[in-house]
Amino acid sequence: MTKRTFRPAGRRPSPKQAPVPGLAARRRACELVEAVLLRRRPLDEVLDEPTELDAADRALVRKIAATTLRRLGTIDRLLDSRLAKGLPDGLPRLRTVLRTGACQVLFLDLADYAAVDIAVRLVEADRKARGFAGLTNAVLRGLARDRTLILGQIDPLDDLPAWLRQRWIAAYGEAETRAIAAIQAVEPPLDLTVKADAEGWARRLGGTTTPTGSVRLVDAGQVTALDGFSEGAWWVQDAAAALPARLLGDVAGRRVADLCAAPGGKTAQLAAAGAAVTAVDRSARRLERLAANMDRLGLAVAVEATDALTLAGTFDAVLLDAPCSATGTVRGHPDVMHLKSTADVEGLARMQARLLDRLGDLLVPGGRAVYCTCSLEPEEGERQIAGLLGRDARMAVDPIRPDEFAGLAPFVTPDGFLRTLPSAWSHAEPARAGLDGFFAARLIRRPD
């Protein structure tokens, strides 16, 4: 990564002069980081709020905020090592400015001078913190000066909060956890599911195809401006998220319930495959978004705004993408590891068990179901299936076969489940590697 060096600071313009380029975007990035860490709000929720920033600045805001959250463990360790006396309490913006400033000089291809200068301005604008402007300048300049040495000594495990690091080491071992942490430190690619001709769309969009047939783009830019968006030729869907719906097999002409369906990627897969889909979600607002997506894609589905726990009727097949901790999506949603905890995993596991218990009533005899979560936690995956089989004699595992479709084999476990890890699909360019962490199991209701 090429970085521009410092220019002499000279005299700082008066705050009353014309707006400083990049200042508003970096201030907004600080607000987003604080919304996540201090007010416990999901990053995407805050990003959806109206803003007067243009598209380029909005992209910069997201990159700074997401990368700060992604690399927060490393950033805090480095800041603590350079702040012998620590920071006083009651100055949250000072810490946030230091965090986002450190993120820029260490991990983003932005001019060091601009990152440091604007960080100092942001501290000076905080009445309580302005006395620390000199400290901010010194710390960030020091990080920029020592960047090469720092980057050569980083341990990716530092970026994982203790609760998550401990859980993953217990489940997958330290080496695999380190590999997961390393790939999660990199901005993810954009994966698309296409209606047809993945290779052709990959060429047209300047991307590649994954082993399982998704189209993968790097630095794609604004999604709505890409070829094929307006004509509904594809939809955004991580390559791992595109696997569970395919495990239902040939669904053409069959009645399929997609539970917890919004925003609708799996719904679109099922409808495009010819299923008569009922998309179920208890959030009417999220179903409006799903319906809009189906309209763009030219796909007809029925929608039902109800809780899956009270859904009536029977179906030939059910896809249950259960609410979960989403720890398999940390690369694209780094706020997850700062907002969730082991208590959340335990609470969500109880909800998942209740949803699984509905399958026997919703399926016709001989009907298939796929249960999936975008979680790396065994309580939300393998252990859920073991619990269901012990509670409901009507249900049995229908083992997934490694040869069901191209690229599936590496993810099929000895028990016939699907388990993807973010560290899969290594590539010389990390930005082109990996996929979300997912678990899926296929089940069948025994004939009466």
Q: Above 60 in pLDDT, residue 442?
A: yes
**Per-residue pLDDT reduced to its tens digit, 141-165:** 999 999 999 999 999 999 999 999 9
The residue that leads in pLDDT, 7 or 294, is 294
Higher pLDDT among residues 391 and 3, named by residue: 391
Q: What is the mean pLDDT of residues 232-254?
A: 98
What pLDDT, on the 0 to 100 scale, is given for residue 9? 46
Is the pLDDT reported for residue 315 higher than 60? yes
Residue 216 has pLDDT above 60, yes or no: yes
Band (pLDDT 50/70/90 cuts) for residue 3 is: low
424 pLDDT more than 90? yes
The rounded percent of the chain whose pLDDT value lies above 70 is: 96
Residue, of 84 and 252, whose pLDDT is higher: 252
Which residue ranges form the domains of the chain, and what is each CATH number?
Answer: 23-154 (1.10.940.10), 190-445 (3.40.50.150)
Q: pLDDT tens digit string along 357-368?
A: 999 999 999 999
* Separation of alpha carbons 258 and 271, rounded Å: 10
pLDDT in tens, 323-355: 999 999 999 999 999 999 999 999 999 999 999
Give the residue-averaged pLDDT of 364-390: 98
- Write the secondary structure of 334-352 as one string of H (helix), E (strand) and C (coil): CCHHHHCCHHHHHHHHHHH
Q: What is the pLDDT of residue 11?
A: 44
Span 42-99, pLDDT tens digits = 999 999 999 999 999 999 999 999 999 999 999 999 999 999 888 988 999 999 999 9
Confidence tier at 8 by pLDDT (50, 70, 90): very low
Confidence band (pLDDT; 50, 70, 90) for 317?
A: very high
**3-state secondary structure labels for all residues of the chain:** CCCCCCCCCCCCCCCCCCCCCCHHHHHHHHHHHHHHHCCCCCHHHHHCCCCCCCHHHHHHHHHHHHHHHHCHHHHHHHHHHHCCCCCCCCCHHHHHHHHHHHHHHHHCCCCHHHHHHHHHHHHHCCCCCHHHHHHHHHHHHHHHHCHHHHHCCCCHHHHCCHHHHHHHHHHHCHHHHHHHHHHHCCCCCEEEEECCCHHHHHHHHCCEECCCCCEEECCCCCHHHCCCCCCCCEEECCCCCCCHHHHHCCCCCCEEEEECCCCCHHHHHHHHCCCEEEEEECCHHHHHHHHHHHHHHCCCCEEEECCHHHCCCCEEEEEEECCCCCHHHCCCCCCHHHHCCHHHHHHHHHHHHHHHCCHHHHEEEEEEEEEEECCCCHHHCHHHHHHHHHHCCCEEECCCCCCCCCCCHHHECCCCCEEECCCCCCCCCHHHCCCCCEEEEEEEECCC
CB of 293 closer than 8 Å to CB of 301: no
Nearest to 235, CA basis, from 191, 197, 204: 191
Q: How far is CA 2 from the centre of its chain?
A: 27
* Amino acid 316: pLDDT: 98
Mean of pLDDT values over 268-278: 98
For the stretch 152-205, pLDDT in tens is 999 999 999 999 999 999 999 999 999 999 999 999 999 999 999 999 999 999
Active site residues: 374
pLDDT value at position 6?
A: 53
Quick one: pLDDT at residue 114?
95
Residue 2 has pLDDT above 90, yes or no: no
- The average pLDDT across 121-127 equals 95
User: What rounded mean pLDDT belongs to the chain?
Assistant: 95
What is the structure's pLDDT at 448? 83
* Tens-place pLDDT, residues 24-46: 999 999 999 999 999 999 999 99
Does the pLDDT value for residue 10 go beyond 50? Answer: no
The reported pTM is 0.93
